[in-house]
Amino acid sequence: MANYAVPHKAVLQDGLRPGSVIRIRGTVPANAKRFYVNLLCSEHSGADTALHCNPRLDSAEMVFNTYQEGAWGREERSPSIPFQQGQPFDLLLIVADDSYKAVAGDAVFHRFTHRLPLQLVRVLEVGGDVQLQSVLIF
């Protein structure tokens, strides 16, 4: 199975719209501490980030946030973390009219309300302690 280099960036030519789904498949390495999935508004360093999804295996929590005009917003924390060290995962980010739904297995484990307009999202970035097998946007 092909592995992507990490960090991996994909330009979203058509952007995102309600109904878009991002599917990220990978494996969390046995010694992983944290990884992230970002939806960025540009390819530039320090770009606004519409969604920062940050599984923190070292503290057993999921953190969601935005980064706008050089500052992080208010963190939202998910009480469960659907990722385990040494295990494969399948993460879906489903774009709804009002939010992003983060799904692992068959369950929505967090809903993050849009803070930046959906039409600004241009780049998907995945990085940190993760082995990335596939990234699909449909």
The pLDDT value recorded for residue 106 is: 85
What residues contact residue 119 under an 8 Å CB cut-off, 6+ apart? 15
The pLDDT value recorded for residue 78 is: 87
- Identify the segments of the chain with pLDDT beneath 70: 1-2
The pLDDT value recorded for residue 2 is: 61
Nearest to 125 by CA among 31, 19, 20, 12: 12
Q: Report pTM.
A: 0.95
> Domain range holding 21?
8-89+120-137
- Is 48 among the domain residues? yes
The pLDDT value recorded for residue 80 is: 80
The pLDDT value recorded for residue 79 is: 76
What residues contact residue 25 under an 8 Å CB cut-off, 6+ apart? 88, 89, 90, 91, 132, 133, 134, 135
CATH of the domain at 50: 2.60.120.200
